[in-house]
Amino acid sequence: MICSAAPAKVILFGEHFVVKGKPAIVTAVNLYAKTCIMELESGKHLLISKQLRQETDLDKEHVPEQLAQFKRIYEIIYEKYGVIRGFKAIIDSDIPVSSGMGSSAATAVSFTHSLLRFLGVEFKLEDVNNIAYEAEKLVHGKPSGIDNTVSTFGGIIYYKRGYMEKLNVKWPQNLSLVVVDSGIKRNTGKVVMDVLERYERHEEIMKHIYVAAEQLVNKAKNLILSSRFYDLGELISINQSLLESIGVSIFETDRIIYAMIESGGLGAKISGAGRGGIVYGLFMENSLNNAIHRLKNIGYKPIIVKPVEKGVIEFHSS
């Protein structure tokens, strides 16, 4: 059995401001999408998603919409490498769906990596990234490519339209991110359009917010490169204030943020499009128990994660 695992992502800084060419900082974290592939003598090409509770035959003309990206990956690899012997692929994931943590990209990366390994062909991580990006187009239309890139290569990445830089640093062991899914689903495209419309209505004001966002991300990059991780908290909270000013913070996410700060968080903010989705907070190890208890008491299911240096990896399933 061939198995691969690809990490989720958290947007640390930036979000909406990248649409206007400003930078962002994104990290891979230790939540994973996993794919295991075994050979089938029948010659069929079957795919099962445990998380989505769906399965399909990839040779069929029409597959369930949520599994279409895997059919696209299968087709691209078939076109490039020729006949693929029969297999059954089982995909599972710890990453919350539609939360802004890159679930679709991580599953695409893990499936691509495991299928290429199953074929026994020579490939580079860049090949995995490019194929997964093509699959992401089915899910997101015009994706930035940052989700699949972070999941493929791992680490903390400074991203600006047309430019990506991996920040080669080691994350401290006594510093964690606490991630909470607000449980509120939103249409990311609509949120992005609403923000752009606000920008057009108040450009003379909004442009200063976007400049501030750029300066903030660049300062955060410098702190990270200097291993001054404990100084990131204030910048996280300032970034949240900028997101509030462009209209993407709501009561439910504010409630989570305040609970994180009151329970010892160094900083907390929305991660992603906002108006729902996830919130993350930065915590020292000695504050974690208090934070987890507080967040559970108000009805949420916090997840403790850490940035990881590696992207997609192979592993052995028992």
Catalytic residue ranges: 147
> Which DSSP symbol is given to 272?
S
* Nearest alpha carbon to residue 13 among 291, 243, 189: 243
Beta strand 45-49 pairing with 54-57: antiparallel
Q: Per-residue b/e over 77-106, b at no fewer than 16 CB within 10 Å?
A: bbeeeeeeeebbbbbbbbbbeebbbbbbbb
Q: Residue with structure tokens 């279409």? A: 68
Q: Environment class of residue 183 by beta-carbon count within 10 Å: exposed (0-12), middle (13-18) or buried (19+)? A: middle
Neighbour-count burial of 31, counting CB atoms closer than 10 A to its CB (0-12 exposed, 13-18 middle, 19+ buried): buried
Rounded Cα gap, residues 197 and 179, in angstroms = 29
Q: Does residue 101 contact residue 8 with C-beta atoms inside 8 Å?
A: yes
- Say if residues 198 and 256 touch (Cβ distance below 8 Å): no
24: left (phi over 0), alpha (psi -120 to 50) or beta: beta
**Coil, strand or helix at 251:** helix
Q: Please classify residue 188 by burial: count the beta carbons closer than 10 Å to its beta carbon, then call 0-12 exposed, 13-18 middle and 19+ buried.
A: middle
User: DSSP 3-state assignment of 282?
Assistant: strand
- CA angle, residues 148, 247, 300, in degrees to nearest 5: 65
